Amino acid sequence: MHIMTPDNILNLKDFDYDLPLERIAQFPLPQRDKSKLLVFKNGIIKESVFSAINTYIPEDSFLVFNNTKVINARLFFRKKTGAKIEIFCLEPSGNKTVEIAFSEKEYSNWICLVGNASKWTDEILEKEIFVNGEKCILYAEKIRAVSGNFEIRFSWSLKALTFSEIIHEAGLIPLPPYIKRTPEKDDSERYQTVYADSEGSVAAPTAGLHFTEEILIEFGKKGIQYDYLTLNVGAGTFKPIKEENVFNHSMHFESFSVKKSFLEKLLGYSGSNIVAVGTTSVRTLESLYWMYVLGKHKTGFVLNQWEVYNYNEKDFPDLKTVLKGLIDHLDDINEDTINGSTELMIIPGYKYKVVDVLITNFHMPCSSLLLLVSAFTGENWKKIYEYALANNFRFLSYGDSSILFKQ
Mean pLDDT across the stretch 267-285? 95
The reply to whether 77 and 29 lie within a common domain is no
The reply to whether 231 and 344 lie within a common domain is yes
Report if residue 178 sits inside a domain. no
pLDDT the model gives residue 234: 81
User: Do 44 and 56 meet the contact criterion of CB atoms below 8 Å apart?
Assistant: no
Burial class (CB in 10 A: 0-12, 13-18, 19+), 134: exposed
pLDDT the model gives residue 371: 97
User: Do 206 and 190 meet the contact criterion of CB atoms below 8 Å apart?
Assistant: no
The reply to whether 227 and 290 lie within a common domain is yes
Q: What is the pLDDT of residues 382-399, one digit of tens each?
A: 999 999 999 999 999 999
Mean pLDDT across the stretch 314-320? 88
Report if residue 98 sits inside a domain. yes
CATH code, domain with 216: 3.40.1780.10
The reply to whether 25 and 103 lie within a common domain is no
The reply to whether 45 and 126 lie within a common domain is no
List Cα–Cα distances, 136 to 86, 188, 321, in angstroms.
Answer: 19, 22, 54
- Does 6 have pLDDT greater than 70? no
Report if residue 4 sits inside a domain. no
- Does 5 have pLDDT greater than 70? no
Report if residue 2 sits inside a domain. no
Q: pLDDT tier at 324 (50, 70, 90 boundaries)?
A: very high
The reply to whether 41 and 22 lie within a common domain is yes
Mean pLDDT across the stretch 343-364? 96
Q: pLDDT tier at 78 (50, 70, 90 boundaries)?
A: very high
CB-CB neighbours of 5 under 10 Å: 8
Mean pLDDT across the stretch 109-113? 94
The reply to whether 363 and 248 lie within a common domain is yes
The reply to whether 80 and 57 lie within a common domain is no
Q: Which domain holds residue 110?
A: 73-171
Q: Which residues contact 183 (CB under 8 A, 6 or more apart)?
A: 74, 172, 173, 175, 191
% of the chain at pLDDT higher than 70: 98
Among the candidates 107, 137, 171, a domain finishes at 171
Q: Which of 352, 397, 377 is nearest to 39 (CA)?
A: 377
The reply to whether 43 and 137 lie within a common domain is no
Q: Which residues contact 392 (CB under 8 A, 6 or more apart)?
A: none
Q: Is the dihedral of CA 153, 159, 160, 166 positive or negative?
A: negative
Mean pLDDT across the stretch 11-28? 97
The reply to whether 77 and 51 lie within a common domain is no
Report if residue 275 sits inside a domain. yes
- Give the count of domains, the chain: 2
Mean pLDDT across the stretch 46-58? 96
Among the candidates 143, 171, 199, a domain finishes at 171
Q: What is the pLDDT of residues 24-35, one digit of tens each?
A: 999 999 999 999
pLDDT the model gives residue 1: 55
The reply to whether 45 and 142 lie within a common domain is no
- Does 4 have pLDDT greater than 80? no
Report if residue 310 sits inside a domain. yes
The reply to whether 376 and 279 lie within a common domain is yes
Report if residue 3 sits inside a domain. no
CB-CB neighbours of 366 under 10 Å: 17
Q: pLDDT tier at 310 (50, 70, 90 boundaries)?
A: confident
- Does 54 have pLDDT greater than 60? yes
